[in-house]
C-alpha cells in the first residue's frame, strides 16, 4: 500500500525537461506518492455531497453519474455567472509565463502542468470549447478541447497538486489567481463526488463533532486540561480555562492542530499562559472548536457550512468578540470570507483589548482579531514581561504562511513578537518570505500520508531557503503561524533539513513570558532543559 519515498538525493534531481508531446496530448499520470486517496462514501453522505460511493483513484471506473459531462458543464456555466473572478481569469490570460516558475509544485516537480498558467489552461480549454465562438469553431488550434474522462482525471490530478497559496497571483500582471481556479475546479469535481479522503473525512467530522479530528467535547476538554497540567509542572501555576461559558467577553477559536498534536500543542500552551497571565475573560468552545476550515478546500458552500458555527456559537454564548489562533487558511477565511458568508455579526462588538484599551477598528465588521495582532498590541504597550534569553537555545527564522501573507497581509505582527521573544532571529532570502513566501507544500488539504512524495516536492523550495539560513546562521528553529505548517513542516524538515525544529510564535512567546508567581523556570514548553541562566527572577 505504501510506496517507498525516494531519497532527498533522488528527489532533488528535478527534471525540467518538457515532454515531447504537447500538453493536450500528454495524459495525466496518476502516480502513487503523488495522489491522495479517494473520499469515502460515508463522509460525502455526512454533509450531503453528491454521488457518495466507494471508489479508488487507481481504478478505471470512477463510478461517475451517467450525465457527468452535463453536470460539469452546467456547473461551470453557473460558476462563470456567479464569480467574476472565474469569468475574467478564463478570458484574459495572455500566457506571458511570468507565473510559470513561481509555483512551488513546478519548482519541485518540473511537471509543466504545475505551471500555474497550464493548471488554469486545463479548465480554460474546456471553457473555450463550450463557451466561446473561436473555441467551438477552431478547437485545439486555439487551445480548446472537449471534456473527456481523461480531462477529468487531469483536473483531479492537478487541482489536488495546488495548495491555493496564491504566489502566482502576486506575480501575474492581471492578478489571475490560481487559488480561485483550484477552488472552483475542486467545486466542480465535488459535483461528481470526487474529493480526497483527507479533506472529506475532516469535513464530515468537523460538521458533526466540531473539529477536523473528531475529538468529542470531553476529549477536547481533557486535552486542554492535560496541557494545563504540563504547564503547572513547568511554571508552577495552575491554569483553569473555561469551556462553553456563557457571558465570557471573548470566544477563542483556533485550529485543531493546536490541541491534538506535537508541536501544535506547545503553541496552544503559549495561548493558555498568555490568557491566564492577563486574566482574560475568555472561553473555549467544544462545539465551534475548529478554526481551520477544510470546507474551504472542498467548495464555497461547504466552507460556509463549517464556518457558520463560529458566529452561531459566539451569539449563543453572548461574547463580545472573537480572537483567532495561529492558523493560515483559517485566517484567509476569517479575513476575506467569514463576514460575507455568515455575517455581519451584529450581536458582537468591535474588539477592544481589555488590557490596553486599543480598539481594533480594522475588525469593526467581522469582529474577529488575530492573536498576533492582540499580542503585538500588548507588547507595544509594555503589558508583558518577556525574558528572551529563555529562547537563547533557539536560532529562529520565520516562515510566512501563504494565506496570512497573500490573503491578509499580516507580515509585521508575528515578526514583532519574535523580536521580543527571542534574541537570535534571522530572515530567509527575501524572495522566499513575506508576500513572496513559499508554501509548506502541504496546504489546502494535501497533508495526507499517501502523497508524501508530492509534499516533499512541494516543500522543496521552502526547505531550500531554510537550509540556506541553517548553513549561514546555524538556524535550528522554524517559527510559523499556521497549524498545517506545524503538522507539515516537521516532516519536511526531517526530510530536507534535519535538525530544524518547528514552533508556533506563541510557543516562543510562552517560553519567554514571565508570569506572576511562577517558579524558577528550568524547562521550556517542550519539557526540555532551558539554557544556562534559568533563575532570572
Partner 1 sequence: MVFNPVGEIVGPIYALTAVILLILISWAGVRGLGLTGFFGIVVPYLAAILFFTGFLHRLIKWSKAPNPFRIPTTGGQQKSLGWIKHSTTDNPYTTFQVILRLASEVFLFRSLFRNLSLRPQTGTQPVSYASAKWLWLFAIAFHYALFTTLFRHLHFFTNPVPAPVRLVQNLDGWLEIGLPQVMVSGLILLGAVMVLFARRIFLPKLRYISLLNDYFPLFLLMAIATTGALMRYVAGIDTTSVKELAMGLITFHPAVPDGIGVLFFIHFFLVCSLAAYFPFSKLMHAPGLFFSPTRNLASNNRAFFHPNPWNRPVAFHKYADYENHFREKMVEAGIPLDQDPPSPGSKE
SS3 226: helix
Which CB, 131 or 392, lies closer to partner 1? 131
SS3 sequence, 14-70? CCCCCCCCCHHHCCCCCCCCCCCCECCHHHHHHCCCCCCCCCCCCCCCCCCCCCHHH
Separation of CA 294 from chain center: 9
SS3 371: helix
Among the listed ranges 185-193, 269-277, 439-447, 460-468, the one in contact with partner 1 (CB under 8 A) is: 460-468
Residues 42-61 that bind partner 1 (CB under 8 A): none
In whole angstroms, the minimum distance from the beta carbon of 434 to partner 1 comes to 8
Residue 239 binds partner 1 (CB under 8 A): no
Which CB, 29 or 92, lies closer to partner 1? 92
Residues 405-444 that bind partner 1 (CB under 8 A): 405-413, 416, 429, 431-432, 435-436
Residue 336 binds partner 1 (CB under 8 A): yes
DSSP 8-state symbol, 436? G
Question: Between the CA of residue 246 and those of 254, 256, 281, 317, 458, what are the distances in Å?
Answer: 19, 22, 11, 4, 44
Residue 24 binds partner 1 (CB under 8 A): yes
Among the listed ranges 30-38, 194-202, 305-313, 508-516, the one in contact with partner 1 (CB under 8 A) is: 305-313
Residue 304 binds partner 1 (CB under 8 A): yes
Among the listed ranges 28-36, 211-219, 258-266, 500-508, the one in contact with partner 1 (CB under 8 A) is: 211-219
Among the listed ranges 184-192, 216-224, 255-263, 482-490, the one in contact with partner 1 (CB under 8 A) is: 216-224
Question: Between the CA of residue 289 and those of 220, 363, 381, what are the distances in Å?
Answer: 8, 21, 30
Q: How many CA atoms lie within 13 A of 56 on its CB side?
A: 6
How many positions of this chain bind partner 1 (CB under 8 A)?
A: 122
Instruction: Bin 330: left if φ > 0, else alpha if -120 < ψ < 50, else beta.
Output: alpha
In whole angstroms, the minimum distance from the beta carbon of 521 to partner 1 comes to 29
Which CB, 45 or 408, lies closer to partner 1? 408
> What b/e sequence results for 85-107 when a residue is b if at least 16 CB atoms lie within 10 Å of its CB, and e otherwise?
bbebbbeebeeeebbbebbbbbb
Distance of alpha carbon 343 from alpha carbon 361, whole angstroms = 17
Binding partner 1 by CB under 8 A: which of 50, 67, 146, 173? 173
Residues 82-121 that bind partner 1 (CB under 8 A): 82-88, 91-98, 100-102, 107, 112, 115, 117-118, 121
Q: Which H helix or E strand runs over 180? A: helix 178-190
Binding partner 1 by CB under 8 A: which of 18, 29, 30, 137? 18
Binding partner 1 by CB under 8 A: which of 63, 136, 238, 246? 246
CA 39, 42, 46, 47 torsion-angle sign: positive
In whole angstroms, the minimum distance from the beta carbon of 83 to partner 1 comes to 6
Binding partner 1 by CB under 8 A: which of 5, 6, 8, 23? 23
Residues ≥6 apart with Cβ < 8 Å to 467: 496, 497
Task: Give the contact letters, 463-502, x = binds to partner 1 (CB under 8 A), - = no.
Answer: -xx-xx----------------------------------
Task: Give the contact letters, 340-369, x = binds to partner 1 (CB under 8 A), - = no.
Answer: xx-xx-------------x-xxxxxxx-x-
Task: Point out which residues pair with 397 in neighbouring strands.
Answer: 478
The residue length of the chain stands at 537
Among the listed ranges 61-69, 153-161, 206-214, 248-256, the one in contact with partner 1 (CB under 8 A) is: 206-214
Cell of 33: 506518492
Residue 237 binds partner 1 (CB under 8 A): no
Residue 11 binds partner 1 (CB under 8 A): no
In whole angstroms, the minimum distance from the beta carbon of 65 to partner 1 comes to 22
Which CB, 149 or 262, lies closer to partner 1? 149
Q: Which of 124, 100, 128, 126 is nearest to 114 (CA)?
A: 100
Residue 515 binds partner 1 (CB under 8 A): no
Amino acid at each position: 500500500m505504501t510506496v517507498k519515498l525516494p531519497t532527498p538525493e533522488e528527489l532533488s534531481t528535478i527534471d525540467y525537461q518538457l515532454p515531447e508531446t504537447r500538453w493536450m496530448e500528454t495524459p495525466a499520470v496518476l502516480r502513487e506518492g503523488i495522489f491522495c486517496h479517494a473520499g469515502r462514501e460515508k463522509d460525502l453522505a455526512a454533509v450531503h455531497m453528491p454521488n457518495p460511493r466507494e471508489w479508488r483513484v487507481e481504478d478505471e471506473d470512477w463510478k461517475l453519474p451517467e450525465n457527468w459531462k452535463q453536470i460539469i458543464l452546467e456547473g461551470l456555466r453557473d460558476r462563470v455567472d456567479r464569480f467574476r473572478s472565474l469569468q475574467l481569469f478564463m478570458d484574459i490570460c495572455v500566457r506571458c509565463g511570468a507565473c510559470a516558475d513561481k509555483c512551488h509544485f513546478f519548482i519541485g516537480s518540473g511537471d509543466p502542468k504545475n505551471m500555474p498558467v497550464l493548471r488554469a489552461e486545463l479548465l480554460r480549454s474546456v471553457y473555450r470549447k463550450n463557451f466561446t465562438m473561436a473555441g467551438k469553431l477552431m478547437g485545439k488550434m486555439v487551445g480548446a478541447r472537449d471534456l473527456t474522462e481523461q480531462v477529468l482525471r487531469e483536473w483531479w490530478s492537478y487541482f489536488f497538486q495546488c495548495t491555493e497559496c496564491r504566489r502566482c497571483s502576486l506575480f501575474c500582471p492581471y492578478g489571475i489567481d490560481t487559488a480561485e481556479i483550484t477552488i472552483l475546479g475542486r467545486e466542480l469535481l465535488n459535483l461528481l463526488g470526487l474529493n480526497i479522503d483527507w479533506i472529506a473525512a475532516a469535513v464530515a467530522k468537523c460538521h458533526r463533532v466540531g473539529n477536523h479530528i473528531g475529538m468529542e467535547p470531553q476529549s477536547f476538554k481533557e486535552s486542554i486540561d492535560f496541557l494545563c497540567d504540563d504547564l503547572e509542572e513547568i511554571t508552577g501555576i495552575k491554569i483553569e480555562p473555561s469551556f462553553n461559558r456563557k457571558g465570557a467577553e471573548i470566544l477563542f477559536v483556533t485550529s485543531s492542530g493546536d490541541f491534538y498534536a506535537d508541536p501544535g500543542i506547545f503553541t496552544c500552551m503559549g495561548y493558555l499562559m498568555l490568557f491566564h497571565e492577563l486574566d482574560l475573560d475568555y472561553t473555549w468552545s467544544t462545539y465551534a472548536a475548529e478554526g481551520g476550515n477544510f470546507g474551504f478546500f472542498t467548495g464555497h458552500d461547504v466552507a460556509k457550512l463549517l464556518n457558520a458555527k463560529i458566529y452561531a456559537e459566539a451569539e449563543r454564548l453572548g461574547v463580545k468578540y472573537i480572537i483567532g489562533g495561529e492558523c493560515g487558511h483559517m485566517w484567509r477565511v476569517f479575513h476575506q470570507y467569514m463576514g460575507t458568508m455568515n455575517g455581519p455579526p451584529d450581536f458582537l462588538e468591535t474588539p477592544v483589548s481589555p488590557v490596553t484599551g486599543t480598539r481594533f477598528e480594522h475588525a469593526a465588521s467581522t469582529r474577529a482579531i488575530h492573536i498576533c495582532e492582540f499580542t503585538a498590541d500588548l507588547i507595544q504597550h509594555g503589558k508583558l514581561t518577556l525574558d528572551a534569553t529563555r529562547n537563547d537555545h533557539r536560532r529562529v527564522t520565520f516562515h510566512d504562511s501563504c494565506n496570512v501573507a497573500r490573503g491578509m497581509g499580516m507580515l509585521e505582527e508575528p515578526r514583532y513578537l519574535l523580536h521580543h521573544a527571542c534574541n537570535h532571529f534571522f530572515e530567509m532570502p527575501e524572495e522566499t518570505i513575506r508576500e513572496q513566501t513559499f508554501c509548506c507544500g502541504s496546504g489546502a488539504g494535501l497533508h495526507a500520508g499517501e502523497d508524501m512524495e508530492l509534499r516533499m516536492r512541494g516543500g522543496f523550495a521552502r526547505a531550500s531557503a531554510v537550509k540556506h539560513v541553517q548553513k549561514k546562521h546555524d538556524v535550528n528553529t522554524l517559527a510559523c503561524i499556521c497549524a498545517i505548517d506545524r503538522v507539515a513542516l516537521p516532516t519536511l524538515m526531517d526530510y530536507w533539513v534535519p535538525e530544524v525544529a518547528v514552533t508556533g510564535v506563541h510557543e516562543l512567546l510562552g517560553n519567554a513570558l514571565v508570569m506572576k508567581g511562577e517558579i524558577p523556570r528550568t524547562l521550556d514548553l517542550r519539557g526540555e532543559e532551558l539554557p544556562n541562566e534559568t533563575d532570572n527572577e
